[in-house]
Structure 1
Amino acid sequence: MSNSDEDVGGLITRETLAGRLPVQGSSRLYNGFGTLLGATIAIGAASFNYLFGASIAYIGNTYIGIIGYLIGLMMGLAPIYLASGMISYRHGVDPVDAAKSAMGTRGASLLLLLILITTLGWSFVLIAMTGQAAGRLQQILFNPNGGIDNSFVAAVSVLMLVLVWLLLRKGPAMIALLTRYTSPAILLIAAVLLYLITRDVNLSTLLHTNVDPKLAYTTDPLLQLAYGVEFGASNALTSVPFFGGIARLIHKRKHLVTPSLLGAGLIGAGFTTAVGALAAIATGSTEPAEWVLKTAGSGMGTIIVTILLLANLGTLISFFYLAGVSVQQIRFFARMRWDVIIFVLLLPGLVVAFNTEWLIAHVMNWLAYNGAMFAGIAAVLLTDYLLLRRQTVLPAHLFVKTPDSAYWFWGGVNWVAMAVIVLGACVYLSLFNPLTLAVGSTFRYVGATMPAFAACILAYYLAMRLVIAMSYKGGYRNVSQLSLKKVSVGL
């Protein structure tokens, strides 16, 4: 093969990975267990997990909270990964394209909106947290009697935006390269922090040390466990907009769930969140930079915080990559070069850089409610592909935007799916308010995520079977494409 052929082949691979073309065979980035494990650790072990850990500490029983969180996280991740990843893995397509078979050619725009809100929202929160942590470090070291220097916070935040663009502008291959180093660094830092907070108080004692009962969410052990499980399950729901974009880059079917379950789940989010909970109990502080300096001292603490902040780059480029691919569903962005797309997505970060406190205070509220939508979406995707379509879709029709598409439904929208997604949000919020932490009467026994997920699976399956039965009588235009017997047409 000539050099020109190799250059063309490399260009095609880069364009495929950075766009919506199906990613197949050797073009996929993650062809081994280790590389995928590193990438998912980078996504799962973001610094905001330390803040989640503080929330777990305030459940009222540290041990029960951590155990419940891990149970909810692992229990929720497996079905979420299957729901959001199977079609993307099999056909190499973006999660929005994959969702069209269930939500409709136009209805999948809802998932696109939520993907952009979630990926960009959490990315900007992480950038704001990085700037704030750097500002806190600078204040403690150089201005202990003064406040945080907002200009320094803004400068660090802008620097993070520039670094993300420089690292990601040539395509997503940098994700695999960078996370090879940032993921071990994140885990090493978490392990060092765990050692530091258990030097003077052994781990068992710390696990059974609780916050003041007056500050706890509840003193009821069963409700404490329910809160812990729900926090873990809610975290699992946030994988819905992320995992499809990772799944299309996985080479082997056997790696679809296990490395991600270990990486993003147990090792990434699970371990770092548990360390955050223990650190909050040990230091009485909920700010990572502050309790790192309290436990490690100014010298080592400065090094640890600096590495921790730089390690956030692995998470950030993963999030912006997923947003960059999905936003190409919009024709305006599809015509842009990849580096320009990433630049445009990063632009709002300039506003974030100068308003970090406001963003953390307000966007976190919206993101808390935003997650309520994902229980219904995950249930619809899982039920549609596994139970109704029996793992058969027509990949070419995922890219057809006219009534000729096998997934046109009614005007391009599967209104049954839309109704079930709304149902899921209503059930979830009736059982648990993620902002105020108010709960329904049955929350202590069943939580909120799993009942909402189960209700949506049942509702979607029964409703779609009814629609399919009615379609045989000619009651709906294009609904004949839903027939389970007509695999060649739509299912």
Structure 2
Amino acid sequence: MTGTAEGAPAEVRNGWPLPRSERPWGPPAVFCASAATAVATWCFAIGGQVAAYLNAAEGTLTALCGSLLGMLPVVLACLPPCGKYGVDSVVVSRAQLGTRGSVFATALVCVSTVGWNIVVMISLARAGAEVLIAAADLPPPARAPLEAGLALAGAAVVWYGLRRGPDSLRDMTTYIAAGVIVLGAVVLVLLIRHVGWDAITAARPSSARPDHAFNYATGVELLVASNLSWWAYTGAIIRLAPSTRATLWPAVVGLGLSVGLVSLIGLYTGLAVPGSGGDPSRHLLELGGVGVGMTALAFIVLANIGTAIVGVYVATLALRQIPRVARIPWNVSTLAPILPVAVVSAFLAAPFSARFGTFLTLCGVLFGPIAGIQIVDYHLLRRARLDVAAAFDPSRRSAYHFWGGVNPVGFAALAAGVAVYVYLLNPLTYVSHPPYEHITAGIPSAVAAGAVYALGTRLVLRPLGKGGYGP
């Protein structure tokens, strides 16, 4: 697979099943793509959110534990079927939502990846403008046009970088992953050196509540909800690797643990510099000058471009499973997930940033339940089997046709999981109800959705012979 993406096989470009002999990625490529995806300035924002509730010691343990806990449902839901059959998460969802109902999963993938890409482009534009203003001694009114221009330039770089499809993904993320790991460690050392470890450990969280159990639960939930959104990314990465077992730990460490580790930069910055939102770039620029600020900027540019490239690839792959989109040239179809990112990050950055916390928890609201449904369906109800032919058959003959291509049991289970999450933690107001402070919300919502789906399959789908479960 060389040259442009149009020269790649159709199954690679359009999300069709990949035979193991045609999957080009080994464990190193999976780790690099995963790390390049996970390590971005959204980690600063996540850590900054945790800093509102927990101090340095509590937040460090919470970030690491929550990041791995959030990866558990994703790994169980995506790795076995996507690795076994060479398909992405959207294709697997057809067994639970129906051949037409899986459009919901496609929309979920596109909205989440576009949302995350907006986050990283806004951060890239703001950090770049900050450094350029300081280096060139530009007047404050130059900030707004600089941010808009940098956001548009970043989107253009991402579009150009994806011109060769999966080849671009593999080649670019290999170097990006190495760079962001090194630069991330440098930024953390610079932060501790310039701020002081004593100042970080002595800092108190800005919005901690009297109920310490709530603070801990919310710190965990922020990381769980963030990593549940990897459901949208994991299948598209794992389908390119021939061995699921060999790619388990590269995916867990690259996608899961990396978020927790880099979030520590945002945690410590958020504690030491209230009002920073966890972003260390401006503070390091003020304390260490342009040289130190440029180091932080290099990390932000490299990490955010890598993350955006993977996000756009994942969204494009999901969209190209729609027949009309599949007929469009690859480089045209990649514009669909890039254009909203460019417009919002360049011209609507402030209103979007003000709602970041809500966006973060909304990821847990939706991705937890869909992961729970897939875990129960694939591992317990279907005995680790997916009818690939049925997943790509839009006719009434498909085992996944259900009723008009939609499985109402799947959507009822999804609604039940969302209801459990919202009851435990309202993502708009952060009002919680017991026992949220002891069990959080993301994992219980996944369990509830899976339980409702299992019950609905036993009472409705199996007796009626729907869904390929047998009478």
TM interval, shorter chain, is over 0.9
Aligned positions, number: 468
Is 2:19 aligned against 1:28?
no
Is 2:304 aligned against 1:309?
no
Distance 1:330 1:91, change over 3 A: same
The alignment's TM-score, normalised by the length of structure 2, stands at 0.92
Bigger-Rg structure (1/2): 1
Report the CA distance between 1:65 and its aligned residue. Answer: 2.2
Is 2:125 aligned against 1:138?
no
On the 8 A contact 2:424/2:436 being kept in 1, the answer is yes
Q: Alignment partner for residue 274 of structure 1, among 243, 264, 271?
A: 264
Instruction: Name the counterpart of 2:392.
Output: 399
Secondary structure of the 1:405 match is coil
Is 2:470 aligned against 1:483?
yes
Q: Distance between the aligned counterparts of 1:67 and 1:280, measured in 2?
A: 16
Alignment of 1:370-449 (within 5 A): 370-449=363-442
The alignment's C-alpha RMSD in Å is: 2.5
Q: Distance between the aligned counterparts of 1:436 and 1:217, measured in 2?
A: 15
Q: Alignment partner for residue 175 of structure 1, among 146, 169, 177?
A: 169
On the 8 A contact 1:132/1:356 being kept in 2, the answer is no
On the 8 A contact 1:132/1:153 being kept in 2, the answer is yes
Is 2:184 aligned against 1:187?
no
Distance 1:263 1:196, change over 3 A: same
Q: Distance between the aligned counterparts of 2:125 and 2:194, measured in 1?
A: 31
Q: Distance between the aligned counterparts of 1:295 and 1:261, measured in 2?
A: 35
Instruction: Name the counterpart of 1:262.
Output: 253
| 5+ residue gaps, structure 2 | none
On the 8 A contact 1:424/1:453 being kept in 2, the answer is yes
Report the CA distance between 1:160 and its aligned residue. Answer: 0.9
Distance 1:148 1:219, change over 3 A: farther
Which region of structure 1 is more displaced relative to structure 2, 381-390 or 122-131? 122-131
Instruction: Name the counterpart of 2:72.
Output: 78
Over residues 41-71 of structure 1, what are the superposed CA-to-partner deviations in whole Å (9 max), with x where a residue is unaligned?
A: 1111111110111111111323212212221
Q: Which amino acid aligns with 2:348?
A: N
On the 8 A contact 2:95/2:467 being kept in 1, the answer is no
Q: Distance between the aligned counterparts of 2:229 and 2:137, measured in 1?
A: 38
Is 2:285 aligned against 1:290?
no
Instruction: Name the counterpart of 2:323.
Output: 331
Instruction: Name the counterpart of 1:236.
Output: 227
Report the CA distance between 1:468 and its aligned residue. Answer: 4.6
Over residues 25-51 of structure 1, what are the superposed CA-to-partner deviations in whole Å (9 max), with x where a residue is unaligned?
A: 2432322x2221111111111111101
Report the CA distance between 1:247 and its aligned residue. Answer: 1.6
Q: Distance between the aligned counterparts of 1:281 and 1:244, measured in 2?
A: 35
Distance 1:303 1:63, change over 3 A: closer
The alignment's TM-score, normalised by the length of structure 1, stands at 0.89
Instruction: Name the counterpart of 1:487.
Output: none
Q: Distance between the aligned counterparts of 1:344 and 1:481, measured in 2?
A: 34
Q: Which amino acid aligns with 1:419?
A: A
Instruction: Name the counterpart of 2:349.
Output: 356
Secondary structure of the 1:257 match is helix
Over residues 115-153 of structure 1, what are the superposed CA-to-partner deviations in whole Å (9 max), with x where a residue is unaligned?
A: 110111211222122112222223344457735521111
Instruction: Name the counterpart of 1:3.
Output: none
Q: Distance between the aligned counterparts of 2:251 and 2:458, measured in 1?
A: 33
Is 2:152 aligned against 1:149?
no
Secondary structure of the 2:334 match is helix
Which region of structure 1 is more displaced relative to structure 2, 46-55 or 433-442? 433-442
Distance 1:14 1:206, change over 3 A: farther
Report sequence identity in percent.
28
Distance 1:85 1:193, change over 3 A: same
Secondary structure of the 2:386 match is coil
Report the CA distance between 1:202 and its aligned residue. Answer: 6.0
Q: Distance between the aligned counterparts of 1:314 and 1:171, measured in 2?
A: 14
Over residues 167-192 of structure 1, what are the superposed CA-to-partner deviations in whole Å (9 max), with x where a residue is unaligned?
A: 10121211111111111221222211
On the 8 A contact 2:110/2:315 being kept in 1, the answer is yes
On the 8 A contact 2:44/2:262 being kept in 1, the answer is yes
